Structure 1
Amino acid sequence: MNLYKIAKSVVALIFYPLYRIKVIGKENVPNKGPVIICSNHISNLDPPVVGITSPRDISFMAKDELFEKPFIGWLLSNIQAFPVKRGMSDRNALRKGLATLKDGHTLGLFPEGTRSKTGELGEPLSGAGFFALRSDAVIVPCAIIGTYQPLKQLKVVYGQPIPMEELRTSKATAKETADVIMSEIKKLIDFNK
């Protein structure tokens, strides 16, 4: 059993009862092939929550400063996370993300790029659109609904894959594509509140 599986089991054991996590739409995540799971970002706990509720193992980008901290850096590297320099185009992170998808794995992204201080959806950056357009991945929107208060229910909703053919053939920009992804996340939040 690798560290990812161990960490996932331990976190699930704590988080499921603590936040009364309810998962909806897990069947919308394909069993194989490249997948990008795009979620809203309301807390630092979002990556582990998406990680434990997804039926697939996920590689997340994490801000590069975290990799400089001895234990956290080691842990992140061993649970399939990889560093990204925020506020600039990080070619290494882009290459790593595309390679993850090319190998048929799952990439977890938070299109807003940073967590929302208010809980409201923010403007998406173009990164999610870049990966969606440059890969053959299935794009699955995900909504985290709740406040991370102990014993208050937290919902994690996986929506149906977003049709990408039209965006890919019409040469949509990365930002336009990210906007479409965010609008699908918003629909999940509005419908499941």
Structure 2
Amino acid sequence: MSLYKFAKTVVAILLFPLYRIKVIGKENVPKEGPVIICSNHISNIDPPVVGITSPRDIYFMAKGELFEKPVLGKLLTKIHAFPVRRGMGDRNALRNGLKILRNNETLGLFPEGTRSKTGKVGKGLAGAGFFALRSKAEIVPCAIIGPYKPGKRLTVIYGKPMDIETYRQNKASAKDTSDAIMNEIRKIIDNHYS
């Protein structure tokens, strides 16, 4: 068993009962081919929660400083994380992300770039739109609906893949494409509460 699978199993055993995690729409994640899962960001625990609820193994970006510690850096690489320098256009991170998608793998992104302080869905940065436009990946919007409180229900909803082809053909900007992805995430949350 790979370290990724082992870590996923251990984290699932811990988090599923702790937050009474309910997963909806797992069947919306394509079984093969390149996929980008784009989620809202409400907690530091979001990456492992998306990781354990997704039917596919996911690669996530993690802040570059974490990889400067040799042991932690190696461990993060083995559990499918790769570094990104935040606050600047990190070409290396962009290349790594595109390579993952060219290999028909799954990339997990939090388009807001940082956690929402209010829990409301914020504006998306251009990164998610860049990967959506520059790859042939299917884009799956994902909503994490809290709160992260032990014993309270945490719901993770995977929406249907978005039609990004129109954006690609119309040469839409990365920012506009990210905005469209964030709108889909908002719709999932609104539908959940309606």
TM-score (norm 2): 0.97
- Show the 5 A alignment for 1:145-164: 145-164=145-164
In the aligned structure 2, how far is the partner of 1:60 from the partner of 1:105? 11
Helix, strand or coil for the counterpart of 2:143? strand
Helix, strand or coil for the counterpart of 2:36? strand
Corresponding position of 2:119: 119
Corresponding position of 2:5: 5
1:174 aligns with 2:150: no
Corresponding position of 1:25: 25
Corresponding position of 1:143: 143
In the aligned structure 2, how far is the partner of 1:88 from the partner of 1:138? 26
In the aligned structure 2, how far is the partner of 1:69 from the partner of 1:174? 33
Corresponding position of 1:96: 96
Stretches of structure 1 lacking an aligned partner (at least 5 in a row): none
> What do residues 24-50 of structure 1 show as CA deviations (whole Å, max 9, x unaligned)?
000000000000000000000000000
Deviation (angstroms), 1:165: 1.4
Deviation (angstroms), 1:71: 4.2
Deviation (angstroms), 1:135: 0.2
Corresponding position of 1:105: 105
In the aligned structure 2, how far is the partner of 1:170 from the partner of 1:190? 28
Deviation (angstroms), 1:66: 1.6
Please, what is the CA RMSD of the aligned residues? Answer: 0.8
In the aligned structure 1, how far is the partner of 2:161 from the partner of 2:134? 17
Corresponding position of 2:67: 67
Stretches of structure 2 lacking an aligned partner (at least 5 in a row): none
Helix, strand or coil for the counterpart of 1:7? helix
* Count of residue pairs brought into register by the alignment: 193
In the aligned structure 2, how far is the partner of 1:22 from the partner of 1:77? 28
Deviation (angstroms), 1:73: 2.3
Counterpart residue identity of residue 90, structure 1: D
Deviation (angstroms), 1:70: 4.4
Deviation (angstroms), 1:118: 1.3
Q: Which moved more, 1:1-10 or 1:116-125?
A: 116-125
> What do residues 43-92 of structure 1 show as CA deviations (whole Å, max 9, x unaligned)?
00000000000000000001111212344323211111000000000000
Counterpart residue identity of residue 76, structure 1: L
Q: Structure 1 residues 19, 71: closer, same or farther in 2, change over 3 A?
A: farther
TM-score (norm 1): 0.98
Q: Structure 1 residues 149, 70: closer, same or farther in 2, change over 3 A?
A: farther
Matched-pair identity in %: 70
